[in-house]
Chains A and B, each alone.
Chain A
Amino acid sequence: MIQFENVSLEYKAGKFALIDLNFAVPAGAFAFLTGHSGAGKSSLLKLIARLEKPTAGNIVINGIDYNRLKPRQEPRLRQQMGLVFQDNQLLHDRSVFDNIALPLIIGGYRHREIKNRVAAALERVGLSGTAQENPLSLSGGEQQRIGIARAVVAKPKLLLADEPTGNLDAQISADIMQLLMQFSASGVTVLVATHDIGLLETFDFPRLQLHQGRLVDVHPGRSAASQQNENRHVRHREYV
């Protein structure tokens, strides 16, 4: 669960990135974070990932009170989250397998477990045969799916995605969204920051809308599970 209580983030004196945010996203929910560029979407994600600290207010993620969190506990917290980036942030000096294995190495998993989990993650994103390939040899959509595989390989409780479809065409974006919905349906809380109007119109998920650092609208939407039950092909065609 993501809970924000009176959270503000001030970068410079008088210059707020986020102002007095109050909201809660329940565990297992799929939610969009929307707003124009500079609205504060990335700042909010940074606060959740503890890459920034709020100047006021309190954040509680999955029962962890950030105000009581010690700096040395931050890496462990991040290990419990999956992060998906717009530019996928894959490392090109190693294979797809080694890219996906990285969070597991950081987490101290055994080799056998790493092998099994990476294989399962690759299977989930539909790229089982690419383990030994270099990410550069894959298409943009495939690279993003590898990025998602890396984000979920350690089975996080929370998945944060910052413009995951930003560099992709409509069809591949729909694929990526379907993939994220699958994770949400399996109990992972997914928060997707996007300003892709097409995406927002196609998928009726709960939506937090930011404007100049303020939460201006909360659209309730429907859960990922209920939307998955609908005909995905129809939804996909609508979007594309």
Chain B
Amino acid sequence: MPIESGKSATPSKRSPIRRSTAKAAATSSETIPHSNHTEPKSKPAKASRSKPWQYTKRGYALARSFQQLRSQKLASIGTLLVFGVTLALPALILFTASSLSDLGSRSVGEESITAYLTLQTSDLDGASLAQQVQLIDGVKEARYVSKDEALALFYAQTDIDEGIDVLGENPLPGSIILFPDTSKLNEADLKALAMTVAKSEGVDRVQFDLRWVQRLQAVLNLTRSVGWILASFLTLTALLVIGNTIRLELLRRQTELDVSRLLGANKAFLNRPVIYTGALYGFLGGCIACAIALFALHWLREPAVSLSTLYSSTFELVMPTASQLLLVVLAATILGVFAAIITLYQPSNHFLQNRRTGI
């Protein structure tokens, strides 16, 4: 009896069925004849058009991810554009951060103290005073600008030279421009130096323009902070966009996931295409973000140069380096993977836990 029921229903180990099992397992499957009622098609069997690498576990996952992008072209392009545009601002902030930092530090580095001399001070005394100031500790350079030089500069830089001509004589005083060593002196030392110079004989007043630098730096810091906060929100948005796309993709592929699970796929096999899809979205989105940011930088570069020229500055927006571009693409890819993992493992996710089966 080939089938048994009851509490001691273990079949005999000497059953002929068992022997035939072993024999059959050793024989090739091709030896079994066809059913008389099946009608073989006339065309010969062909190998699949898919590439051999697509039949490895990782290759299969990658192929599924690419196929998803291809099969949902418009939706995928839309998602990629949203992701790219969303990441473009953080990328732009990253690219301009170095230029802005450079602007801030350069402003402090080139800070100078201008000591205006009294009108009675002669060029000889002024030059002598500049030499004395040069000897003060922390002064990198002291340059005397005579009355005539000051007038020449005034003519060169303004359009109101006729007003000066009306006065008949040069009203501009001589001055000493001090370049402190900012690597040694802090803000308090700079103030003390300015006070010392102000007390020197022949010095009328001292102009100390550190405040605008501080203001500039404060503005830059604020801009940077606002930028990073904005970038964080946008990054979170990008995460949600990818997560939502993957969620929809999982819903679309529910049957495939169920069938794969029934055929013995483990969690890694089921999750891999999803994670690859996230990475693919991240990578392509990162490339789009870089392209948009580069375009924006290129577009902003000219106005930035024009603005800095107005302030006699040499500031310019530097184009990002290859490593910066790679960093953005890598970060976007990681973001995509992260979004996929969150989607796969969030508590409310029933895609992989739910055991809906065809049985």
Contact = CB atoms under 8 A, between A and B. Distances in A.
Nearest to B22: A187
Which of B23, B47, B267 has its CB near the most chain A CB atoms (within 10 A)? B47
Nearest to A207: B3
Contacts of B355: 51-52
Contact of B9 (A24, A72, A89, A183): A24
A186 interface: yes
Contact of A5 (B7, B20, B32): B7
B38 A145 contact: yes
Interface in B38-53: 38-50, 52
Given A42-B359, A114-B55, A225-B20, A78 B263 contact: yes
A6 to B, nearest CB: 7
Which of A72, A115, A131 has its CB near the most chain B CB atoms (within 10 A)? A131
Interface stretch (A10-18, A96-104, A195-203): A96-104
B60 interface: yes
A218 interface: yes
Contacts of A22: 5-7, 9
A129 B24 contact: no
A218 B3 contact: yes
Interface stretch (B74-82, B109-117, B254-262): B254-262
A134 interface: no
B45 A131 contact: yes
A220 B262 contact: no
Contacts of A110: 55
B9 A3 contact: yes
A178 B10 CA distance: 28
Nearest to B268: A75
B165 interface: no
A5 B193 CA distance: 96
A87 B358 contact: yes
Which of A27, A31, A127 has its CB near the most chain B CB atoms (within 10 A)? A27
A157 to B, nearest CB: 8
Given A27-B18, A97-B47, A127-B40, A106 B264 contact: yes
Contacts of B34: 123-124, 126
A1 B11 contact: yes
Given A6-B7, A129-B42, A221-B3, A105 B37 contact: no
Contacts, number: 237
Contacts of A223: 2, 17
A220 B71 CA distance: 52
B322 interface: no
A59 interface: no
A92 to B, nearest CB: 9
A166 B286 CA distance: 50
B264 A28 contact: no
B347 interface: no
A232 interface: yes
B29 A89 contact: no
B348 interface: no
A25 interface: yes
A183 to B, nearest CB: 8
A105 B55 contact: yes
Given A42-B359, A126-B40, A24 B10 contact: yes
Nearest to A78: B264
A23 interface: yes
A122 B260 CA distance: 20
A211 interface: no
A80 B27 CA distance: 17
Contact of B2 (A29, A45, A183): A29
B315 interface: no
A119 interface: yes
Contact of A49 (B21, B35, B48, B359): B359
A26 B38 contact: no
B17 A29 contact: yes
Interface string B267-311: 101000000000000000000000000000000000000000000
Nearest to A92: B255
Contact of A179 (B38, B52, B256): B38
Given A83-B262, A221-B3, A188 B17 contact: no
A159 interface: no
Contact of A178 (B9, B35, B40, B57): B35
Contacts of B27: 186
A166 B52 CA distance: 36
Interface in A65-113: 72, 75-81, 83, 85-87, 89, 91, 93, 95, 97-98, 101-111
B46 A131 contact: yes
A131 B48 contact: yes
A232 B36 contact: yes
B163 interface: no
15 contacts: A22-B6, A22-B7, A24-B5, A24-B9, A52-B355, A75-B264, A78-B263, A106-B263, A120-B29, A122-B45, A126-B35, A127-B38, A129-B44, A145-B38, A221-B2
Interface of B: 1-7, 9-11, 15, 17-18, 20-25, 27-50, 52, 55-57, 60, 67, 71, 255-256, 258-267, 269, 355, 357-359
> Which 7 A-B residue pairings sit nearest by Cβ, starting from the closest?
A187-B24, A129-B43, A129-B41, A126-B38, A79-B264, A206-B3, A78-B264
